[in-house]
Amino acid sequence: MSSPDVPTRGPARSGPYVITGILLTIAIVVPLFVPAYSVDEPRWVGMPFFYWYQMMWIPITSALVGVSYWLVIKEDRRRRESVRGLTSPGEER
């Protein structure tokens, strides 16, 4: 295209993205590895392991995604400030 490609963000540092990638991979792969939890015992308040273990992964995934959010937002902000100078009104609410 002929209109200039004005960068919206500066260059990325790989660190936060690599860590985020690892956290999210854990959150996807572990809950899908059925052989690890396809058993009845130990039961917890009467629930077979199969059921409570999977439910337990809901808050864990939520936390992993939450940490990823924090890492990515911090890096995102830094990249934007590096191209915009000090004008950064784009704070997330």
Partner 1 sequence: MSGMALPLAAPDRPVNVVALTIVIFLFVLVAVLGFVAARWRRGEETGLHSLDEWGLGGRGFGTWVTWFLLGGDLYTAYTFVAVPAAMWATGAVTGFFAVPYTIVLYPIVFLLMSRLWSVSHRHGFVTPADFIGGRYGSRSLTLAVAITGIVATMPYIALQLVGIKAVLTVLGLGSSENVLLTDLPLIIAFVVLAAYTYTSGLRAPALIAVVKDLLIYLAVIVAVIYLPIKFGGWDPIFNSAEAKLGATNPATGKPTGVFIPGAASYSAYWTLALGSALALFMYPHSITGVLATKSRNTIRKNAAVLPLYSLMLGLLALLGYAAIFAGTVPVDLNGAINPQLVVPQLFLDQFPAWFAGIALAAIAIGALVPAAIMSIAAANLFTRNIYVDLIRPDATPRQEAHVSKIASLVVKFGALVFVIAMDQSAAINMQLLGGIWILQTFPAIVAGLYTRWFHRWALFGGWAAGITYGTIAAYNVVNPVTKAHFGGSIAAIPGTDTQVYIAVTAFAINLIVAAGLSLLFHAMKLPDGEDITRNSDYGADENDPKVAQIEREHPLGESGASTF
Looking at 8, 15, 18, 74, which residue binds partner 1 (CB under 8 A)?
A: 8
Query: Where in 12-51 is the site for partner 1 (CB under 8 A)?
Result: 24-25, 27-28, 31-35, 38-40, 43, 45-48, 50-51
Residue 79 CB, nearest approach to partner 1 (Å) = 8
Looking at beta carbons only, is 15 or 69 nearer to partner 1? 69
Residue 81 binds to partner 1 (criterion: CB under 8 A): no
Residue 89 binds to partner 1 (criterion: CB under 8 A): yes
Looking at beta carbons only, is 85 or 89 nearer to partner 1? 89
Backbone angles phi, psi at 89, to 5 degrees: -80, -5
Block residue for tokens 């690892």: 22
Q: What are the tokens at 74?
A: 């911090």
3-state per-residue secondary structure call for 35-89: HHCCCCCCCECCECHHHHHHHHHHHHHHHHHHHHHHHHHHHHHHHHHHHHCCCCC
